[in-house]
Amino acid sequence: MLRELASNIFKLHDYLLKRTDGRVRDYPLMQSPIEMTSILLAYVFFSVYVGPRLMANRKPFHLKTTMIVYNFSMVALNAYIVCEFMLSGWGTTYSWRCDLCDPSSSPQALRMIRVAWIFYFSKYIELLDTVFFVLRKKHSQITFLHVFHHSFMPWTWWWGITLTPVGGMGSFHALVNAVVHVIMYFYYGLSAAGPRFQKYLWWKKYLTAIQLIQFVLVSVHISQYYFMEKCDYQVPVWIHLIWIYGTFFFLLFSNFWVQAYIKGKRPPVTKDKPKQNGVTNDDVTTVTNGKQLENGMAHHYTNGKILPGKVKEV
């Protein structure tokens, strides 16, 4: 039985190698699902088990400078991703309707392949969000949703850019996500810079609205597929999955918006009181990826209950 299982695994591995888009095969982490799966499993093991135990009897690290550099570096990276997505199709040849994947080796198609891979690889860089939580002993922010999101996102994107042509209307959500990341990491960079920058963070509550707009744009754009007379998009399964994702999170965020801003079930806002390491006592009430941010940390908002969560996004 074990021999048969091993044989089936090797057959699947060979099948994946044959199916891998030749244009992306030579990029790092694209040769086999074993490498990326091993990295993500190690990340989960470190986040849930190894990291908290290593830090149990140690003092938390003060990473103010590191956090500033990291956040603003992520701003630059995501801004570059946005520009490349625009130049490789979304701002040049795409109609923003039934845009098909380009399976050719034209310069523009290869440029789309490259930016899709960079977006994919950026999700591995974002695993540092959790590493910083561990080193700073912010264990309450390392929730199931946080770890699941950070591990599942790059895992699914590997399959997307390996087995199917890259680009077309299925890549729109990545463009929008990168735009949102520019805004969010910019906010977190200013926040980490210290109390003297707090006066520039008056727009923190609008992060919730930005997230809602993100999912509206993604859902509306992908919904066009269902109303067109004909759209020969090569991988319709991704259309369905993106629509489910965008609609689900829009409903989740809308529920929070109603509870927090219409029904007024949010904490009262207090005056800013600077604390050490650039952290303030001001009540931050916003949502990122289904999470409510208060007093510098996030809380999951589910079924009317607020549970501890993480500060950073999607």
CB 84 within 8 A of CB 111: yes
Nearest to 260 by CA among 312, 301, 313: 301
Determine the Cα–Cα distance for residues 214 and 6; give it in Å rounded to an integer. 43
Active site residue 149: yes
Nearest to 303 by CA among 262, 252, 263, 257: 252
Scanning the structure block, which residue is given the tokens 């930005």?
210
Nearest to 75 by CA among 226, 179, 201: 179
* C-alpha distance across the termini of the chain, in Å: 41
* Residues near 61 by beta carbon (within 8 Å), at least 6 away in sequence: 135, 136
Angle formed at CA 275 by CA 269 and CA 276, multiple of 5 degrees: 155
CB 60 within 8 A of CB 135: yes
CB 291 within 8 A of CB 300: yes
Number of other CB atoms surrounding residue 101 within 10 Å? 21
CB 90 within 8 A of CB 168: no
CB 32 within 8 A of CB 26: no
Determine the Cα–Cα distance for residues 199 and 26; give it in Å rounded to an integer. 47
Determine the Cα–Cα distance for residues 274 and 37; give it in Å rounded to an integer. 42
| Active-site residue (options: 13, 139, 149, 181) | 149
Beta bridge partners of 109: none
Question: Which residues are marked as active site?
Answer: 149
